[in-house]
Structure 1
């Protein structure tokens, strides 16, 4: 998948839906054990089926009905599932409000989970609006997704964000575009194109710590 310039009037959801439609349900993702169908199911349940995840854990008929409903959702034709995702969670949905607050963080990350599992992928050149989304998402996610005993400074063309640790063993600087840094703080080391600079103690702390939600 080649690098492309983003049109500012195309939303992340619309482009993500186009990628899903083009690649199909069996396309791989970078998430272990998940293909595109699993990823889309996760997104649709998140936006309008969280009760099924809870229901499946219940004993007896309630649990069975929830499991049957979830199985029926998986049998819906791919194009219809993608169309449902493209429509979004609705104006009053708490998920929609959360995505607006976090700068579409989950959509940005999961879109790359799919894109970067394909042969020949290259980083996207995001529109100004989506660069803003990724930078805002980074500021919100990094404090809760990084558990590292090091002072970490994330550096992008937008500037820098420093995140301290009470028991820091060293300091670390991570350089990259906002989306690449967002992928890095979420633990996508294999595909995040970043540059790390830090002392040995900080690098060891990075290996011993964790990132991701």
Structure 2
């Protein structure tokens, strides 16, 4: 069975190593060192991980992450490459694949696409399909309630996903599953998606969620 999370872990680690500790990322305010520290505490410090999502706990998470970020960059990459320790929730059977395939894909692209001269890396068909399978839940959680317009996300093979307020004007976004996943996580300005729909609806969406530059 393919392990997409493991493959993306290796890809992300190589991109981080190639970029060095002080390169920019698409994560606002984070360098590659900060991103590496985030990845390590997410699976090695269960006490700090909840603050990644829960605002009330974010201060503690930031303190722990900042402390880890002072460690040698090579140590952070070694810890990330070695995978979750036995006490980590991600060490449970299937948890790494379920919880990290999208996480590592998005963060790999955060490193890759922060460079001015980035070149899109091909996504293996099986991994692209895994991203597409996860897209409905992710899109509804991340953008479904925020979008002021009806959204149709189109796979190049003709499959589509519809979300957003019924009765609102519709904006169509077409692209590979990875590009659609990046859009749902707020990286739309750095994607190769095609956007179509009424101009006022597109502008209304652009005010809420980043879209590819015109």
TM-score bracket for this pair, using the shorter chain length = 0.7 to 0.9
Q: CA deviation at 1:90?
A: 4.5
Query: Is there any run of 5+ residues in structure 2 with no aligned partner, and where?
Result: none
1:170 has 2:166 as partner = no
Task: Quote the residue 1:118 is aligned against.
Answer: 115
Shift of residue 85 of structure 1? 0.5
1:131 is displaced (CA, Å) by: 1.1
Deviates further, 89-98 or 34-43: 89-98
So what's the TM-score if we normalise by structure 2?
0.77
1:134 and 2:124 equivalent?
no
Find the residue that maps to 1:28 and give its secondary structure.
coil
Aligned pairs for 1:94-113 within 5 A? 94-95=89-90, 97-101=94-98, 104-113=101-110
Of the three residues 12, 23, 26, the one matched with 1:16 is: 12
Determine the C-alpha separation between the residues in 2 that align with 1:74 and 1:173: 40
* Worse-matched range after superposition: 96-105 or 173-182: 96-105
CA–CA separation in structure 2 for the residues paired with 1:157 and 1:197: 14
CA RMSD of aligned residues (A): 2.9
- Tell me what 1:76 maps to: 71
From the superposition, tell whether residues 158 and 138 of structure 1 become closer, same or farther in structure 2 (CA, over 3 Å).
farther
Contact 1:103 1:137 in 2 (8 A): no
Higher relative contact order (CA 8 A, sep 6+): 1
Q: Residues 45 and 102 (structure 1 numbering): CA distance in 2 closer, same or farther, change over 3 Å?
A: closer
Q: Which has the larger radius of gyration?
A: 1
Alignment of 1:174-185 (within 5 A): 174-185=173-184
Structure 1 residue 78: deviation in Å? 1.6
Q: Which runs of 5+ in 1 are unaligned?
A: 1-7
Q: TM-score when scaled to structure 1?
A: 0.77
- Give aligned pairs, total: 195
